[in-house]
Copies of this chain bind each other. A is one copy, B any other.
């Protein structure tokens, strides 16, 4: 099939559009790391041009002609990797061409302005200043759901962009199961007499030592520094530019251990995925990540399942003690308990493994209702607070720490939040399977050997690119569809032990 001239022409067109888009990725990385302040307006023009040109390439009618041609001839064949390319190119082409150019431009314009408005509104704790922007965005997103089409809930049309094949019905069920068990677990933890000594994480951690430790750890778990970089930024991210070039970022806090360290592990997890996508397939679906949920599974797996595990720290804690004299009097047990503290808190990005998904459940419910019009933006702050009270037993004192805390809605990213929870669930389900086939894994990890886990992920997740939908991939790896059970079992076991819940 790969020698079919029409198929090749199609691949060349799509690859070129993505090659151009990858130049935009570098511009974006630079914008958030090294761009001089006076250059930001001009950078906006550069990024806008690249986005416009690659959109033109992606919606080139020739792509449509070639797709129709190869689908008619090649799709009935046996299951070949190239068919996944055709399936996924069709998917993106349809999404891209269904949206009117006017809507795309309007969305780009409004979300750029809305991000500025959000940033200021959050700073000034002024939800009413952001509300009109959220209204505009909701109007545009509803129009988008109409253009894309959906069966049950308009939310499905948005979710599908981030998590192909996933529906709001599934997400609703997943959260129902999660919330039902997380809430009592949280109560038990809050009632436990064992408490971690968290002040030890707020001692002095010199930034240069943090840099060395983060870099060393990221390299150890498999992030390749000859094919990537680690730089400093305000809002950490991972950007896979292309083969041999993946960039992760972090931020440092000289008086808090967790911020940079777990952030680096998280981004390194994303980075290892990007670095091990098949390079020869760059620019086509086969060379791209499967879904945002699967991407997030790789970051959460290294950050939490591994990075917050006991075997991991058996290996790394002696090194940490050498680098940070503030830990010299702290036993491993205390440190390990402290980095795993569970405590309801207002801010999602600071949440622990137990409460994190409650933050997501809340956002999912609210954005479903906002999109459908069942909740008005005028009522958002109050509804947010009520729900917060019921999930966490506390309430945000203001909208800065409430419904204004996240950038996502201002960017038009409605439907994005659930992928964070999906990532947590996939990671747990994958790890159950990994431990099944590698019974000595925890011992390896406690000896600082991460090679077999990494290789297992490369083989079963990374190397497939977008060949399978996330659902099919999950079944192939674990033998069953995604469920919340392995994640809850993981939490129950880990935190029962830590908090001595008997």
Contacts and interface: CB of A to CB of B under 8 A. Distances in A.
B27 A226 contact: no
Nearest to A242: B42
A228 B36 contact: yes
Contacts of A229: 34, 36
Contact of A244 (B27, B36, B242): B36
A375 interface: no
A34 B231 CA distance: 10
Contacts of A226: 36-38
A227 B37 CA distance: 6
Contact of A39 (B20, B23, B245): B245
Contacts of A53: 20, 53
A242 B46 CA distance: 10
A50 interface: yes
Can you tell how many copies of this chain the complex includes?
2
Contacts of A374: none
Contacts of A24: 23
B36 A49 contact: no
B242 A38 contact: no
A129 interface: no
A67 to B, nearest CB: 22
Interface string A5-45: 00000000000100110111011001000111111111101
Contacts of A43: 245
A369 to B, nearest CB: 41
Interface of chain A, helix or strand or loop or mixed?
helix
Nearest to A29: B30
A49 to B, nearest CB: 5
A64 interface: no
A50 to B, nearest CB: 6
Given A43-B245, A242-B46, A245-B43, A27 B38 contact: no
Contacts of A428: none
Contacts of A256: none
A42 B228 contact: no
A246 to B, nearest CB: 8
Nearest to A49: B19
A228 B53 CA distance: 27
Interface string A38-76: 111111011001100100000000000000000000000
Question: 6 shortest A-B CB distances, which residue pairs?
Answer: A39-B245, A38-B244, A39-B244, A38-B227, A42-B242, A42-B243
Interface of A: 16, 19-20, 22-24, 26-27, 30, 34-43, 45-46, 49-50, 53, 224-229, 241-245, 282
28 contacts: A16-B49, A19-B45, A19-B46, A19-B49, A20-B53, A22-B42, A23-B24, A23-B27, A23-B50, A26-B30, A30-B30, A34-B229, A35-B245, A36-B226, A36-B227, A36-B228, A38-B224, A38-B226, A39-B227, A39-B243, A39-B245, A41-B243, A42-B241, A42-B242, A42-B243, A42-B244, A43-B245, A45-B242
